[in-house]
Amino acid sequence: MLGGVVSASRLVGVTRQAVSRWPEVLPARIEDRVIAALVRAGREVPQELLRQPAAPAPAAPAPQEVAA
């Protein structure tokens, strides 16, 4: 996506050695840097890198009154 190890290292701002050690599935912190680099470079961000926001948690039910 970033054009190889040298290009990726320049765009993301890390060494070539760091890029070559990236795992196959990137952790969120590296993935965020890759997305930012793609945006700064004016390149399209692949849909698989864009996570859907998590659905909000359902609201807790209101407490019911107990008759005395």
**pLDDT tens digits, one per residue of 29-42:** 998 998 999 898 88
Q: How much is the pLDDT for 1?
A: 75
- Is 68 within a domain? no
- Is 55 within a domain? no
Q: Could you tell me which residues come within 8 angstroms of residue 44 by beta carbon, excluding any fewer than 6 positions away? A: 38
- Is 44 within a domain? yes
Residue 22 is which amino acid?
W
Containing structural domain, residue 11: 5-49
Q: What is the DSSP letter of 67?
A: -
Tell me what percent of the residues of the chain surpass a pLDDT of 90. Answer: 22
- Is 38 within a domain? yes
- Asked if pLDDT for residue 45 goes beyond 60, the answer is yes
Number of domains composing the chain: 1
Q: Largest Cα–Cα distance of the chain, in whole Å?
A: 74
- Asked if pLDDT for residue 11 goes beyond 70, the answer is yes
| Cα distance from N-terminal residue to C-terminal residue, the chain | 67
Q: What is the DSSP letter of 49?
A: G
pTM, to two decimals: 0.63
In this predicted model, which residue has the larger pLDDT, 45 or 58? Answer: 45
Q: Contact at 8 Å (CB) between 26 and 18?
A: no
